[in-house]
Amino acid sequence: MSGAVLVELTTRRTADLIRDAAAHAAPDTDARRIGDYYAAFMDEARIESLGLKPLEPELARIDAVHDRRELAQALGETLRADVDVLNSTNLHTENLFGLWVAQDLDDPGRYLPFLLQGGLVMPDRDYYLDPSAPMAASREKYQAHIARVLELAHFKDAAARAARIFELERRVAQAHWTRAESEQVLKGDNHWTRRDFDTRAPGLDWQAFLAAADLARQDSFVVWQPSAVTGLSALTASEPLDTWKDYLRFHAVERASPYLAKAFVAEHFDFHGRVLTGVPQLRERWKRAIDATDAALGDAVGKLYVARYFPPADKARAQQMVRNLIAAFGARIDRLEWMAPETRAKAKAKLATLTVGVGYPDQWRDYSALVVEPADAYGNAERASLFEYRRNLAKLGKPVDRSEWAMVPQEVNAVNLPAMNALNFPAAILQPPYFDPRRDVVLDYGAIGAVIGHEISHSFDDQGALFDASGRLKNWWTQADFAHFQQAGKRLAEEFARYRPFPDVHVNGEQTLSENIADVAGLSVSYDAWHLTLHDRPAVGAGGFSAEQLFFLSFAQAWRGKIREAALRQRLVTDGHAPPEYRADTVRNLDAWYAAFDVKPAEKLYLAPADRVRVW
């Protein structure tokens, strides 16, 4: 994808910054911490000489588990790793439960801990339960992978242990909610008190678990998938203690593998890279070191990045685009014939309170308490993981910081934070091919403008529309308006469900609905915002294309890409986004695209006017 090209460029730039930090930083500075973290990861000779030694203390703690209470303590200690630099790219947690500290959806002025289902190494429950041939093959290879990891760690009877571990994970998967269910905010907003866990999810010693997770004094939680939490808790009591200990041992080694000797790294890549995503070759070590350093010290690296690569003029241009897009979205709300005045007023109020961060946060994180040693790669990762976990726990009981960023500046991405009613557009995505101050502005609106419009639209998609201007989970629609909106979403889900990347699988229109709504609305509003820049002057084309054609060509080029079959199959199961080629086909729902290219009814992408989905 075009984004992958930009990721490669950003990685190389970041590598230069980190190497400079390693060479010139003063002691006890963030630059020194960055340099030492990178150097420790790159010291292959030392890592090789240590073998499994860095993991011995954790394995010893698992060996010392003798009863269910101690099992609960061991599981509680792993909760800390959910906000995790060791597996920062994972879309789920391999720990039995995950923890996310965020605003209470019912009271956006306070933070609460959100407890989520976890416990799986493979990407999703479907990998354990789907009877299709590709999934069955993945399960067979995964069980073999478990055995090889246990053998590398010198555990006896590896094959038999692997079979038991896999069966336990399969039962964990059976308790899980599906991806589509987990994305339903109204189903996930479940408030439990500390006492509720004992009655609603018996089996686990919750007192021991929460104490080990540093949550003993916390009385209020949001349990996102309650039946899954109940099912997982029951498994901790019903399954043999020895099986749970083997499960913990395997997960400990699996999670640590990228920081261990070459044999562990190779085995980890063989399964997660070759088997699950079809990647034929392990990425160069320096690139993996950059990813690891970014995950541990992201804000500190980002501060260096924006100082060198994101000038104030670029930020000002992007901010002006944001203002134009917000104005265009407001105008679209005003023109909606089907929307009642009371719904329209609340939609405009939400738009008016939207907070948009461009490039980088106003306040940088303080890493002074994080200990980084130049010869301790695994220890650095563990300390960084615990540091981040404690940073999140420290939010509990404090006022909500609405200026906090969810991304680092060197990340090629963007995000909408519904409870914050805020958007983040990191500096790294504000580069060609998405954003380029040297070219005609129409091309920027077709590319990054559609991205900005997409994120604005998330505040009004099937999930974001459930949050009011304060970030409270509250339905602010009239009943008739919301029914109209839901019907449009249903039609869009059906449109995307007709796309078949492979004969045996189609895009999940419900799973990708939020993103598809944001794509349609975002592209529409960006087109309007570009027209605002013309100030009623005629648009001028270039290179034999009209200006309108250039807008849509820029949008299409932003979605160029190739992907291996295994990786695409994984994304179809786990990703809330449709594959890029179908996201490019969003244009089918815009009348302006038909006019720009004179698209006729007999052509493949043509949709009759009545079949075009207009959400906003």
- Bridge partners (DSSP) of residue 553 are none
- Same domain for 271 and 347? no
- Same domain for 545 and 444? yes
Burial zone of 69 (CB within 10 Å; 0-12 exposed, 13-18 middle, 19+ buried): middle
**Structural domain for 548, as ranges:** 311-363+403-611
**Residue pair 127/119 in contact by the 8 Å Cβ criterion:** no
Q: Could you tell me if residue 396 is inside a domain?
A: no
Distance CA 95, CA 80 (A): 9
Instruction: Say which DSSP state 600 is in.
Output: -
Q: Could you tell me if residue 616 is inside a domain?
A: no
Backbone angles phi, psi at 548, to 5 degrees: -65, -40
What average pLDDT does range 279-289 have in this prediction?
94
Q: Could you tell me if residue 394 is inside a domain?
A: no
What is the structure's pLDDT at 89?
A: 33
Q: CA nearest 461: which of 410, 401, 418? A: 418
Across the chain, what does the average pLDDT equal?
93
What average pLDDT does range 401-428 have in this prediction?
92
Distance CA 105, CA 544 (A): 51
- Same domain for 316 and 238? no
Give the CATH number of the domain where residue 451 resides: 3.40.390.10
Write down which residue in 300, 322, 354 finishes a domain.
300
Write down which residue in 278, 300, 322 finishes a domain.
300
Instruction: Say which DSSP state 25 is in.
Output: P
Write down which residue in 251, 266, 300 finishes a domain.
300
- Bridge partners (DSSP) of residue 220 are 193
Give CA separation, 391 vs 32, 83, 220, in Å.
21, 10, 19
Enumerate residues 6+ apart whose C-beta is below 8 A from 438.
Answer: none
Q: Could you tell me if residue 380 is inside a domain?
A: no
Please report which confidence band the pLDDT of residue 328 belongs to, taking 50, 70 and 90 as the band edges.
Answer: very high
- Same domain for 125 and 236? yes
Give CA separation, 544 vs 61, 396, 486, 547, in Å.
69, 58, 41, 10
- Which amino acid, residue 26? A
Strands laid side by side in the 111-117 sheet: 97-103, 111-117, 220-223, 191-193
Q: CA nearest 116: which of 15, 16, 232? A: 232
- Same domain for 229 and 321? no
**Residue pair 550/592 in contact by the 8 Å Cβ criterion:** no
Peptide bond into 433 cis (omega under 30): yes
What is the structure's pLDDT at 92?
A: 57
Distance CA 125, CA 118 (A): 10
Please report which confidence band the pLDDT of residue 1 belongs to, taking 50, 70 and 90 as the band edges.
Answer: low
Beta-strand relationship, 415-417 and 191-193: unpaired
pLDDT digits (tens, 9 = 90+) for 111-130: 999 999 999 999 999 999 99
Count of CB atoms situated within 10 Å of the CB of 113? 21
Backbone angles phi, psi at 192, to 5 degrees: -120, 140
What is the structure's pLDDT at 462?
A: 77
pLDDT digits (tens, 9 = 90+) for 64-100: 999 999 999 999 998 864 443 333 333 457 899 999 8
- Same domain for 199 and 332? no
Instruction: Say which DSSP state 429 is in.
Output: G
**Residue pair 452/523 in contact by the 8 Å Cβ criterion:** no
- Same domain for 290 and 317? no
Please report which confidence band the pLDDT of residue 370 belongs to, taking 50, 70 and 90 as the band edges.
Answer: very high
- Bridge partners (DSSP) of residue 116 are 98
**Residue pair 386/404 in contact by the 8 Å Cβ criterion:** no
What is the structure's pLDDT at 465?
A: 81
Q: Could you tell me if residue 45 is inside a domain?
A: yes
**Residue pair 525/325 in contact by the 8 Å Cβ criterion:** yes
What is the structure's pLDDT at 80?
A: 66
Where is average pLDDT lowest: 46-55, 139-148, 534-543? 534-543
The enclosing H or E element of 425 equals strand 422-426
SS3 category, 280: coil
- Same domain for 530 and 560? yes
Count of CB atoms situated within 10 Å of the CB of 387? 19
What is the structure's pLDDT at 357?
A: 96
Q: Could you tell me if residue 32 is inside a domain?
A: yes
- Same domain for 229 and 344? no
Enumerate residues 6+ apart whose C-beta is below 8 A from 558.
Answer: 2, 433, 434, 446, 447, 450, 451
Write out the two tokens for 226.
Answer: 């309650």
Enumerate residues 6+ apart whose C-beta is below 8 A from 81.
Answer: 93, 95, 255, 385, 389
Give the CATH number of the domain where residue 118 resides: 1.10.1380.10
- Bridge partners (DSSP) of residue 102 are 112
- Number of structural domains found in the chain: 2
Distance CA 141, CA 278 (A): 13
Give CA separation, 356 vs 325, 352, 417, 451, in Å.
12, 11, 10, 13
Please report which confidence band the pLDDT of residue 5 belongs to, taking 50, 70 and 90 as the band edges.
Answer: confident
In this model, does residue 292 exceed pLDDT 80?
yes
In this model, does residue 434 exceed pLDDT 70?
yes
In angstroms and rounded to an integer, the radius of gyration of the C-alpha atoms of the chain is: 25
Give CA separation, 151 vs 63, 123, 154, 396, in Å.
17, 23, 5, 42
**Residue pair 34/21 in contact by the 8 Å Cβ criterion:** yes
- Same domain for 180 and 235? yes
CA 38 to chain centre: 24
Dihedral (C-alpha) 287, 314, 527, 8: value to the nearest 10 degrees?
-10
What is the structure's pLDDT at 418?
A: 86
Distance CA 355, CA 424 (A): 9
The sign of the CA dihedral 279, 284, 285, 290 is negative
Give CA separation, 570 vs 125, 505, 507, 575, 579, in Å.
12, 11, 12, 8, 11
CA 43 to chain centre: 30
**For the whole model, what pTM was predicted?**
0.89
Q: Could you tell me if residue 388 is inside a domain?
A: no
SS3 category, 573: helix
Q: Could you tell me if residue 382 is inside a domain?
A: no
- Same domain for 108 and 185? yes
Enumerate residues 6+ apart whose C-beta is below 8 A from 574.
Answer: 91, 92, 123, 124, 179
What average pLDDT does range 254-272 have in this prediction?
97
Distance CA 566, CA 165 (A): 24
What is the structure's pLDDT at 93?
A: 76
What is the structure's pLDDT at 79?
A: 86
pLDDT digits (tens, 9 = 90+) for 214-232: 999 999 999 999 999 999 9
- Bridge partners (DSSP) of residue 357 are 424
- Same domain for 136 and 228? yes
